[in-house]
Structure 1
Amino acid sequence: MHDHDNPVLAAIFGRRSIRRFTAEPVSTEALRTILEAGRWAPSGLNNQPWRFLALWPGDPRAKALEDCTKYAHILRGAGALVAVFLDREAMYSELKDHQTAGAAIQNMLLAAHALGLGGVWLGEIVNQAPQVLQVLGLDSEAYAFMALLALGHPDQKGSSSRKPLEELMIGELTE
């Protein structure tokens, strides 16, 4: 149904959340490309309030994050983690800034997919935001924690389903 030659549409319709990864390392070059994709997300007033913290396997901070989520097994298997924050000083509208963090996250997930990597947006961990900031050694007055991305070489096929578009429309799609 969504077989597109256009690479952007192919990535949007083909990307899935990947929660299991092989032991193959993620290259620094790939992670830099993923972070650059996040950097190019749209933001209100072009304020670019997002801040990223990249963590590699073996980093004691990555290990400490495992105690902050019920999904520790996903973190343990990842080839890289990206913690996404908002810089409170750069923010101007909480709603718009939260939306732009989501846009940056989606850009990074699409970039990972385009590079043949897999990733998952971990949201449950935000329920432990104060603990996350503490184990990462970050000031909660300076940063608002938005999400954690686990990235790596896929060790599973992703799957997903979506409601029909008609169920999501308010009104009909007519000219």
Structure 2
Amino acid sequence: MPKPTKGPRLGGGPAHERLMLANLAAALFTHKRITTTETKAKRLRPLAERLVTFGKRGDLHARRRVLAVIGDKTVVHELFTVIAPQVADREGGYTRITKIGNRKGDNAPMAVIELVLEPVTPKKRAAKPAAEAPVAEEAPVEVEETAAVEETEAAAEETSEAAADEAPVEEAEPAEAK
């Protein structure tokens, strides 16, 4: 767990905070999306991200580490068998926090924290990003320019062929020479 914050805990002492975050993480893994206060969501994010990383490892030691936090075998089983394979290609950022406004009763700022389970599109990595970045930007421009040049050359050939068919041979030769 990250370094504990100074000042008051979320609704009690450190033990209560640890148990509350464990329950929130279990609910997040069970329902894939929960609504809570912004503060609790921000405190839950590092814990949930680390537990998902353990789920991606998938070995016995990682399973026991997650069981020490959550304690519910069905939730841990779902994390390791369902959620971890869905985020196997993702390198981080397994959760998303969306602010949804204030709660009606006490005007507390609310947020939705959810698991990001959409498949990730891997980016192509360049060998030298600093040296090849300008080349990568110029390459599509050159392709577009060569395509435009080829189209204009093809159009010019068609017009010259059409003009050659209509005009007598003697007139077509001086026109091409110009």
TM-score, normalised by the number of residues in structure 1: 0.29
* Structure with the larger helix share: 2
Relative contact order higher in (CA < 8 Å, ≥ 6 apart): 1
* Structure with the larger strand share: 1
Which structure has the larger Rg over C-alpha atoms?
2
